[in-house]
Amino acid sequence: MASVNLGSLVQSYSIFNQASRTNSPLPRSFPFNPLKNISSSTPKRRSFTSLPSISSVLTKEDAVMEEDQDPQLPSFDFKSFMVQKGNAVNQALDSAVPLRDPVKIHEAMRYSLLAGGKRVRPILCLAACDLVGGKESMAMPAACALEMIHTMSLVHDDLPCMDNDDLRRGKPTNHKVYGEDIAVLAGDALLAFSFEHIAVSTVGVAPDRIVRAIGELAKSIGTEGLAAGQVVDKSSEGLTDVGLDHLEFIHVHKTAALLEAAVVLGAILGGGRDADVEKLRKFARNIGLLFQVVDDILDVTKSSKELGKTAGKDLVVDKVTYPKLMGINKSKEFAEKLKSDALELLQGFDPEKSTPLIALANYIAYRQN
């Protein structure tokens, strides 16, 4: 990894200087410099726990959502929404990846895929589909595919050659249970099957929209997405001259790209107009980076028990993070700005149908694990 030319990868890639490319799958600009002095109150704490049964996912979160509810909008029960959508996703995942021959690899796939988790990406996909007038069934295969890919990234991320982690979602990591060889193959199988599942199982959607969705998803995890972020992240460990533009490149590609794809796929498959798809793309870009900024903060402020994974790993391997570069308070201000910018982009959509995305943006901003 040391031979990677990081300079060429992140050249001119800055949240401060570049103009935004609206038709790009990845963000090129966030017009906020977190190192500048801004007046921003410290955000309220919110809480969301793990998800073996989706009803256990929410603790204080639903109460805070009610507290922040816009009085001009219809009442929205965030907890019920997450329970309903999360359980629907879990059932669909269980059906999509049954235990069959070869048993060992399917066991390993199901072990991580059905281990819980907040299902943020598939729920974002379903909410975006609904927002543009689509039915849940139109986006459910894509929602499952997103969770399969996310799970693959976690299985591979935990391997000794990557982050070398022993704990994920409160359980031993896949390679600790099945061995490194099976963990690699289980991740590969989940990745391959994700695309097959969209192509074969999506119904009620025009073929050109399915092809377009598959293209968006592929781009989000290749060398313009997750893979690019991973290679620069690994190559940056221990470096002392990493700046904010470099860090943004890592997080936008490694984390935000798949969250962006989740919203964009839902909008495409739901029949959204091009203008609406692009507006939702920008919304997702902000919450995608927001997700990782919050992740960086939680890594240094929460325990392994609270997170369900090993806390403080970034410090151990000397990874560059937002708190490391700008401190906890400025990182929180940056997160608050990203959330505010995201919510502004939902103006103009149906207020009732946009409420789930507003609630999800708030959750991403204030989650506790």
What per-residue confidence (pLDDT) applies to 71?
44
Confidence of residue 302 (pLDDT cuts 50, 70, 90): low
Give the residue with greater pLDDT, 323 vs 122.
Answer: 122
What per-residue confidence (pLDDT) applies to 57?
40
Confidence of residue 16 (pLDDT cuts 50, 70, 90): very low
Confidence of residue 54 (pLDDT cuts 50, 70, 90): very low
In the chain, % of residues over pLDDT 70: 75
What per-residue confidence (pLDDT) applies to 23?
46
Q: Which residues contact 161 (CB under 8 A, 6 or more apart)?
A: none
Confidence of residue 82 (pLDDT cuts 50, 70, 90): very high
What per-residue confidence (pLDDT) applies to 194?
98
Alpha carbon distance 293, 320 (integer Å): 12
Most trustworthy range by pLDDT among 42-51, 63-72, 280-289: 280-289
What per-residue confidence (pLDDT) applies to 304?
59
Of 14-23, 149-158, 228-237, which gets the smallest average pLDDT?
14-23
DSSP annotation string for 121-158: HHHHHHHHHHHTT--HHHHHHHHHHHHHHHHHHHHHHT
What per-residue confidence (pLDDT) applies to 2?
41
Question: Which of 87, 18, 127, 114 lies closest to 362 in space, CA to CA?
Answer: 127
Q: How does pLDDT run across 94-109, given as a tens digit for each residue? A: 999 999 999 999 999 9
**Would you say residue 303 has pLDDT above 70?**
no
Alpha helices by DSSP H, the chain: 6-10, 61-67, 78-96, 103-113, 120-131, 136-157, 174-178, 180-201, 207-221, 226-236, 244-251, 257-269, 274-301, 304-307, 313-316, 322-344, 351-366
Buried b (16+ CB within 10 A) or exposed e, 23-52: eebbbbbbebbbeeeeeeeeeeebbbbbbe
Q: Which two tokens stand for residue 108?
A: 């390993």
**Would you say residue 339 has pLDDT above 60?**
yes
Residue type, 15: I
Residue type, 348: G
**Would you say residue 51 has pLDDT above 60?**
no
**Would you say residue 176 has pLDDT above 80?**
yes
In the chain, % of residues over pLDDT 90: 62
Q: Are 169 and 117 within 8 A, CB to CB?
A: yes
What per-residue confidence (pLDDT) applies to 60?
44
pTM for the structure as a whole? 0.80
Kindly state the DSSP code that residue 40 receives in the 8-state scheme: -
**Would you say residue 1 has pLDDT above 70?**
no
Q: Which two tokens stand for residue 177?
A: 């249970």
Q: How does pLDDT run across 193-245, given as a tens digit for each residue? A: 999 999 999 999 999 999 999 999 999 999 999 999 999 988 887 787 888 99
Confidence of residue 257 (pLDDT cuts 50, 70, 90): very high
**Would you say residue 350 has pLDDT above 90?**
yes
What per-residue confidence (pLDDT) applies to 163?
86
Average pLDDT over residues 34-42: 35
Average pLDDT over residues 34-39: 35
Mean pLDDT of the chain: 82
Kindly state the DSSP code that residue 97 receives in the 8-state scheme: S
Alpha-carbon distances, residue 142 vs 1, 196, 202 (angstroms) = 33, 10, 8
Q: Phi/psi of residue 340, each to 5°?
A: -60, -45
Helix (H, G, I), strand (E, B) or coil at 48: strand
Q: Are 93 and 322 within 8 A, CB to CB?
A: no
**Would you say residue 38 has pLDDT above 80?**
no
What per-residue confidence (pLDDT) applies to 25?
44
**Would you say residue 276 has pLDDT above 80?**
yes
